[in-house]
């Protein structure tokens, strides 16, 4: 959850799929896998401290820098509706 909007995990980012944009924060709280995050910068997948960036190509795509230097892609619920 970032800025009140839910984002869904879409897997690892493929090479050159997106470009890192502005850093918006870090994961502050991890909840159980079965629990839907309800507060900003909380996650049921990511680890506390992992960095959150907006993709330069779309404000509806978040790029998460993992501890192993790989990146995960999360998309806003509205991303697939064509307004992203």
Task: Kindly report the average pLDDT of the chain as a whole number.
Answer: 90
Q: Which comes out higher in pLDDT, residue 84 or 63? A: 63
Residue 4, pLDDT score: 83
Residue 82, pLDDT score: 59
Are 62 and 72 in contact, with CB atoms under 8 Å apart? no
Q: Please count the CA atoms within 13 angstroms of the CA of 83 that sit on its side-chain side.
A: 4
Do strands 42-43 and 29-30 pair parallel, antiparallel, or not at all (unpaired)?
parallel
Q: Taking residues 6-20, report their average pLDDT.
A: 90
């Amino acid at each position: 959850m970032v800025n009140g909007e839910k984002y869904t995990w879409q897997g690892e980012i493929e090479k050159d799929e997106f470009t890192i944009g502005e850093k918006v924060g870090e994961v502050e709280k991890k909840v159980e896998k079965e629990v839907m995050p309800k507060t900003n910068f909380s996650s049921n997948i990511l680890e506390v401290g992992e960095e959150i960036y907006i993709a330069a190509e779309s404000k509806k795509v978040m790029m998460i820098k993992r501890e192993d230097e790989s990146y995960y892609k999360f998309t806003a619920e509205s991303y697939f509706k064509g307004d992203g």
